[in-house]
Chains A and B, each alone.
Chain A
Amino acid sequence: MTLLITTYAAVIATVIWYRRKDDSMKLGILCFMYWGAALMWLVDALFEYFELGAEYFTPSAQDMLNDSFLGLAVVALGLIVWVVRLLITDPKGSVRRALKNQEQ
């Protein structure tokens, strides 16, 4: 489930990146981060498949639930990293403008 959720996140992030009008949202980082994680979990999944065989595709409900929670947490963490980086680099100058307005 973690692999599936991360892969969906990577695909969605890539589609949004492709449709972007400019690079100010720095979506490339999000894409690379999710694709990197998805590829790493793919290797993990393959090793597990070679070890367990067909049993790999019939996980227990508890395992699936735990993996789903983990997948969603991973997606959230990726989004947090991206948004924090966006605010710090501030490519559109929005944070700077907001801070300047507060000064006045």
Chain B
Amino acid sequence: MACFLAPVTEAVIVTAVEKKMEGKADVNAVSESEGGIVKIPLSRKLKWLNRMLWGGAFLLAFEHVWHGEVTAWFPFLTAMSNAEDTAEMLKEIGTNGVCMAALITAVWAGICRVADSIINRKTDEETEGANA
């Protein structure tokens, strides 16, 4: 009915945080800590989450337009026309929508973890060089 509103809410918050962090550091710069561990900046990682949230929510919103659940006129959601449908819509946002946002965030956390390990992975040449 309007489950995409939960990921949109998260996307708005993440965008605000990302914009705040963007001003502090270079988004694409990878920093190296004392132990030689390369780190991808959080603002760059947040960009990935943002793209998944906004992109996914946009395509999901299109699905709702396709099914006639979103309209171009007030109140924009057909479920808002009566109290019963509104209650069902809120329940769907609270269940489906929140689960969607949680799954995207969990997958993003996994991507960040894997990306951090990949960027610190030694290439064959580096391993050979260390052994020589």
Contact = CB atoms under 8 A, between A and B. Distances in A.
Given A44-B96, A47-B95, A74-B62, A39 B55 contact: no
The 7 closest A-B CB pairs, nearest first, are A36-B56, A33-B55, A36-B52, A32-B51, A37-B59, A37-B56, A40-B100
Contacts of B62: 73-74, 77
Given A29-B55, A36-B7, 10 more contacts: A32-B51, A33-B55, A33-B56, A34-B59, A36-B52, A36-B59, A42-B103, A43-B96, A47-B96, A77-B59
Nearest to B55: A33
Interface in B18-70: 48, 51-60, 62-63, 66
Contacts of A42: 103
B3 interface: yes
B99 interface: yes
Nearest to A70: B66
Interface residues of A, number: 24
Interface of A is mostly: helix
13 contacts: A36-B7, A36-B51, A36-B54, A36-B56, A39-B104, A40-B4, A40-B60, A42-B103, A47-B99, A73-B66, A74-B62, A77-B59, A77-B62
B103 A43 contact: yes
Interface in A32-71: 32-44, 47, 70
B107 interface: yes
A81 B100 CA distance: 22
A6 B66 contact: no
Contact of B60 (A32, A37, A47): A37
Contacts of A91: none
B58 A81 contact: yes
A35 to B, nearest CB: 6
A32 B52 contact: yes
B68 to A, nearest CB: 12
B59 A33 contact: yes
Nearest to A46: B99
> Looking at A6, A39, A42, A47, which has the most chain B CB atoms within 10 Å of its CB?
A39
